[in-house]
Amino acid sequence: QKEVEQDPGPLSVPEGAIVSLNCTYSNSAFQYFMWYRQYSRKGPELLMYTYSSGNKEDGRFTAQVDKSSKYISLFIRDSQPSDSATYLCAMNDNQGGKLIFGQGTELSVKP
């Protein structure tokens, strides 16, 4: 069993839809949770960084962490074609330490 599980998709939604992306994990020591967006042939771009449980909102993006269920989510409101990319969840148990990545979910937002 992988430490971090993420459905690779692909996920296709119409423009304007609310997108829900999720990851589950098995290591209860993880405390720092990140979501990255990666466009094709580019490096990952940090979208959200969350410590421990709770919600964090930044514009159209909301990150949720439920440590009791070992489950994290990223919601994208009013999705746009420019949101089409691969979304990677990542986490670690100490600041500055190596990240454990999910497989990435490929998202396509259709105009």
Residues forming contacts to other proteins in the complex (CB under 8 A) are 32, 34, 36, 41-46, 49, 88, 90, 95-96, 98-99, 101-104
Nearest approach, Cβ of 96 to other proteins (angstroms)? 4
Residue with Cβ nearer other proteins (49 or 75): 49
Nearest approach, Cβ of 25 to other proteins (angstroms)? 14
Nearest approach, Cβ of 60 to other proteins (angstroms)? 17
Three-state secondary structure string covering the chain: CCCEECCCCCEEEECCCCEEEEEEECCCCCCEEEEEEECCCCCCEEEEEEECCEEEEECCEEEEEECCCCEEEEEECCCCHHHCEEEEEEEECCCCCCCEECCCEEEEEEC
